[in-house]
């Protein structure tokens, strides 16, 4: 595969993770691209890992899906053996170790891992080389600069889940308007220590209308 195509596939998307006072919001848009070609308009980039944990992926579809399967299997196995949920920090370390062990034949995928455990809400940005950084809000992909413009303006450490959802919608909308590799709708999940809940398309559309972003 042409190196330029790999680079475009690796960067062409927009994902975001945000920690609120009582939840974590994870979100993506739906478009998949190969260079300037729109390859798919309903790509799944947001995944449930456990009841209290989710992840978003940006990069080559095959690599991203494999990492999702690895993490889901390891988290389920830990839960079965220990009879408790793995912490978000431990899950991020596990995923980081998987990526580090393959650094010379890397997975072309950038992951956001987020969730809520006994220590509160967390969002980690994990790069293809295995670097893992925790933050209160993170965005990845080619549309991330537009999302960060919104997050820097609106984010507050004690913001409610409702306000955070609206903020994320504003950010993804800005990215989809200006980044050609991002578009075709969005997926948004609200994660608590007990529930991973995705918003329906109707719920998202109503919020977009209310925010006058149409």
Would you say 176 and 183 are in contact if contact means Cβ atoms under 8 Å apart?
Answer: yes
The residue to which tokens 């080389």 are assigned: 129
Give the ranges where 58-200 is alpha helix by DSSP (H).
61-82, 88-100, 144-154, 161-178
- Tell me the C-alpha distance between 77 and 36, whole Å: 40
Coil, strand or helix at 9: helix
- Tell me the C-alpha distance between 17 and 77, whole Å: 25
The residue annotated as part of the active site, out of 13, 15, 43, 173, is 13
- Tell me the C-alpha distance between 7 and 151, whole Å: 26
Does the annotation count 43 as an active-site position?
Answer: no
HSE (CB half, 13 Å, CA atoms) of 120? 11
Backbone angles phi, psi at 203, to 5 degrees: -60, -40
By CB atoms closer than 10 A (0-12, 13-18, 19+), residue 79 is middle
- Tell me the C-alpha distance between 122 and 86, whole Å: 13
Would you please indicate which residues are annotated as catalytic (active-site) residues? 13
């Amino acid at each position: 595969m042409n190196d330029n195509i790999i680079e475009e596939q690796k960067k062409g998307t927009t994902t975001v993770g945000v920690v609120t006072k009582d939840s974590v919001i994870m979100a993506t848009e739906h478009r998949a691209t190969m260079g300037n070609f729109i390859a798919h308009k309903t790509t799944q980039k947001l995944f449930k890992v456990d009841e209290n944990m989710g992840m978003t992926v940006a990069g080559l579809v095959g690599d991203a899906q494999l990492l999702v399967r690895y993490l889901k299997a390891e988290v389920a196995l830990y839960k079965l053996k220990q009879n408790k949920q793995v912490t978000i920090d431990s899950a991020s370390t596990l995923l980081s170790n998987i990526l580090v062990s393959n650094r010379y034949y890397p997975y072309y995928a950038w992951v956001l891992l987020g969730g809520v455990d006994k220590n509160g809400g967390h969002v980690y940005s994990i790069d293809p080389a295995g670097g893992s950084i925790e933050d209160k809000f993170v965005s990845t992909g080619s549309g991330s600069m537009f999302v960060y413009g919104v997050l820097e303006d609106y984010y507050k450490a004690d913001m409610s889940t409702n306000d955070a959802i609206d903020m994320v919608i504003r950010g993804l909308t800005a990215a989809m308007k200006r980044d050609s590799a991002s578009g075709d709708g969005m997926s948004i999940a609200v994660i608590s220590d007990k529930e991973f809940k995705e918003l329906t398309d109707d719920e998202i559309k109503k919020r977009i209308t209310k925010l006058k972003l149409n």
